[in-house]
């Protein structure tokens, strides 16, 4: 999927290669930086010349613009991420672009150094953002799917204020113990097994594992409405384990 080429002064660039640039996920880019890459380059077919008629390169472009704003938000230079569109026959152009990008990344130096970010702090920030990728893609799915005609329209596709608000108002999910019926539907559907519970046991969401995808909320909404959607506020503490057993009325006698 990806190749790494080492430049002079140990600068590292990751080239993300997939069959279609539209398959390059936001998580791939963040993971590359988490692994210490100093720059990430994505190459795609020319816009409106998609080989698969899916125009995934528009999605790749929108993803990069979003990622660059996220990089700014956590203190990284967005010039460490670049996307270019060209045909497979433009070898000379590819060489020129890679040389230019290599020089730029070399000027910036090792990841976090020119930005004056402590290595542990940077890893922590990247880890937190990566964890939120499913949530970010859900919140920004409409913009990520846009096919804009004019280049200037992309300049403000994502704004700094918008990204700041995105992280300030991150949604969390909490299961109301008074409404939970221990039906285990949300538990079974959770894609990351972040819900703890069992038969006749009030379910609890492990906030450290939760990726905020909203699957549990959708699964419970029309049944019992036990899953609460909380925005910009701390999540109530989980009910103590010894108080999670549900005693059914038929068993009270």
Nearest alpha-carbon partner for 42 in 150, 59, 54: 59
Cβ atoms within 10 A of the Cβ of 206, count? 13
Determine the pLDDT at residue 117.
Answer: 95
**Residue 5 scores a pLDDT above 80:** no
Nearest alpha-carbon partner for 165 in 75, 69, 64: 69
Residue located via tokens 């701390």: 234
For residue 16, give the H/E element and its range: strand 12-16
pLDDT digits over 114-150, tens only?
A: 899 999 999 999 999 998 998 999 999 999 999 888 8
Choose the CATH number for 171-251 among 3.30.70.20, 3.90.1150.10, 3.40.50.720, 3.30.2390.10.
3.30.70.20
Determine the pLDDT at residue 4.
Answer: 38
pLDDT digits over 175-219, tens only?
A: 999 999 999 999 999 999 999 999 899 999 999 999 898 999 999
What residue spans in the chain does CATH classification 3.30.70.20 cover? 171-251
Q: For residues 32-39, give the mean pLDDT.
A: 94
């Amino acid at each position: 999927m990806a190749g790494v080429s080492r430049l002079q002064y140990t600068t590292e660039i990751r080239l993300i290669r997939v069959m279609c640039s539209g398959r390059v996920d936001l998580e791939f880019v963040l993971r590359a930086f988490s692994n210490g890459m100093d720059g990430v380059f994505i190459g795609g077919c020319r816009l409106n010349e998609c080989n698969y008629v899916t125009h995934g390169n528009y999605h790749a472009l929108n993803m990069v613009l979003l990622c660059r704003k996220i990089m700014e938000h956590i203190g990284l230079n967005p010039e460490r991420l670049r996307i270019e569109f060209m045909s497979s026959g433009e070898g000379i152009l590819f060489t020129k672009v890679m040389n230019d990008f290599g020089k730029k990344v070399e000027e910036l130096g090792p990841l976090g150094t020119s930005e004056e970010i402590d290595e542990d702090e940077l890893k922590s920030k990247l880890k937190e953002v990566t964890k939120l990728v499913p949530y970010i893609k859900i919140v920004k799915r409409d913009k990520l799917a846009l096919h804009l005609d004019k280049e200037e329209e992309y300049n403000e596709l994502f704004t700094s204020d918008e990204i700041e608000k995105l992280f300030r108002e991150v949604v969390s999910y909490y299961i109301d113990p008074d409404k939970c019926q221990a039906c285990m539907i949300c538990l079974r559907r959770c894609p990351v097994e972040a819900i703890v519970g069992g038969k006749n046991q009030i379910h609890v969401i492990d906030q450290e594992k939760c990726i905020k995808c909203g699957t549990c909320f959708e699964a419970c909404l029309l049944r019992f409405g036990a899953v609460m959607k909380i925005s910009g506020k701390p999540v109530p503490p989980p009910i103590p384990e010894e108080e999670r057993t549900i005693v059914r009325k038929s068993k009270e006698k």
